[in-house]
A and B are shown apart, each in its own frame.
Chain A
């Protein structure tokens, strides 16, 4: 069965500092990996996704993530955090392995707090 682990429930950084949010996944076939962000009262917005090819993917709002198959990881990074980045971040895995039809499995989420 597919699963996603986000080890950090809550992270606090200062504005302008760099950020890395960790994500580890378990999936039997080729994974499709996603990072979504959720601001309070909002739905889930896609930041970026990895399907194949270049293992370093660029997303919106200056975010990037690197797929490392050997470590089963897909960590999200941003070189300089802005106060508006404060939100909850979800890593998700999906794919067409077996009988999956696009089902996404989400991690627990990481709440990001940004100090001025």
Chain B
């Protein structure tokens, strides 16, 4: 099965600090997604990204969040000023040809905001 990788596996930060979570996608898979899972809660959609622009975002994805592919390969999620409630597992997902294609998930980054 194709593999998505994410770094770091665990990030601890102080409230108010900026964090960048990274995702290495599958070659030629052009649809990108970020999801998050707060401990004990559902996996929630944050944002979808295709052709270098956001396709859709949830109400969670406010001005503190941004996404980009800075080098045309890695896909990043930036949180500008972290809050305690941003503590969660963040999953990158990657799909191939269409928006309804299978999304392959990375192992996640556990973000802890102190």
Contact = CB atoms under 8 A, between A and B. Distances in A.
Interface of A: 32, 34, 36, 41-46, 49, 51, 90, 92, 94-96, 99-109
B100 A36 contact: no
B54 to A, nearest CB: 9
Nearest to B56: A101
Interface stretch (B14-22, B80-88, B101-109): B101-109
B43 A44 contact: yes
20 contacts: A43-B108, A44-B43, A44-B105, A45-B1, A45-B105, A46-B1, A51-B100, A92-B43, A95-B100, A99-B56, A100-B56, A101-B31, A101-B55, A101-B56, A103-B33, A103-B45, A104-B103, A106-B35, A106-B43, A106-B44
B75 interface: no
B105 A43 contact: yes
Q: Is the interface of B mostly helix, strand, loop or mixed?
A: strand
Nearest to A41: B107
B49 to A, nearest CB: 9
Interface of B: 1, 4, 31, 33, 35, 41-45, 48, 50, 55-56, 58, 91, 93, 95, 98-108
A46 B102 CA distance: 8
B106 to A, nearest CB: 5
